[in-house]
Amino acid sequence: MVEPTRYVDVNIFVYWLGNHPNYAQIAKNWIKKIEESQRGKYITSSLTLYETTVILAGLTGRNLKDKAFVTQVITPMTAIKPLTIEPLKSGDYKRAVEIMNEEELDYEDALHLAIAERVGAQEIVSNDKDFDKTEIKRTI
């Protein structure tokens, strides 16, 4: 069986690094799958790294001026060698607005979906049910 290409949403990294009481183990299992996968099968975006840092700062009371904190968040994410971190491209912003109208997603989710579409992802790893409205299958 050929493993589908999957886009990994922000919440997986937040749950993993934030040790979420309900979802940490699920997130850790996904991280393990990514670590054991072929490069390019799991993709996220540079937006995910930023959002994860912002969300965890808010949850922990830390600050984006705190270099040690930012390093604590970014280093484990970038250390997952098979994970492809896709940059945002100018066309993603325009496509996200189109997606907002087509799928009734907020701009943040629409940006992630635009990138997932661009890279040819067949699935989105997320517990965000808003992605259920889209043509790309959501899995958690």
Total number of domains in the chain: 1
Q: Which CATH number fits the domain that encloses residue 102? A: 3.40.50.1010
Closest CA to 47 of 38, 55, 35: 55
From the centroid of its chain, how far is CA 75?
15
Q: pTM (2 decimals)? A: 0.93
Q: What digits encode the pLDDT tens for the residues 79-122?
A: 999 999 999 999 999 999 999 999 889 999 999 999 999 999 99
pLDDT band for position 1 (cuts 50, 70, 90): low
Whether residue 129 is contained in a domain is answered as yes
Cα 109 to Cα 130: distance, rounded to the nearest angstrom: 8
The answer as to whether 51 is a domain residue is yes
CB of 131 closer than 8 Å to CB of 119: no
Is 122 a member of any domain?
yes
Between 83 and 133, the more confident residue is 83
- 46-60 vs 67-78: helix axis angle to the nearest 10? 140
| Domain that residue 75 falls in | 6-139
Q: Would you say residue 31 lies in a domain? A: yes
Residue 18 lies in a domain: yes
16 vs 1: CA distance, rounded Å: 27
Residue 31 pLDDT more than 90?
A: yes
Lowest mean pLDDT among 1-5, 27-31, 62-66, 99-103: 1-5
pLDDT of residue 133: 87
Provide the token pair at 16.
Answer: 């993993």
Q: Is residue 59 part of a domain?
A: yes
Say if 1 falls within a structural domain: no
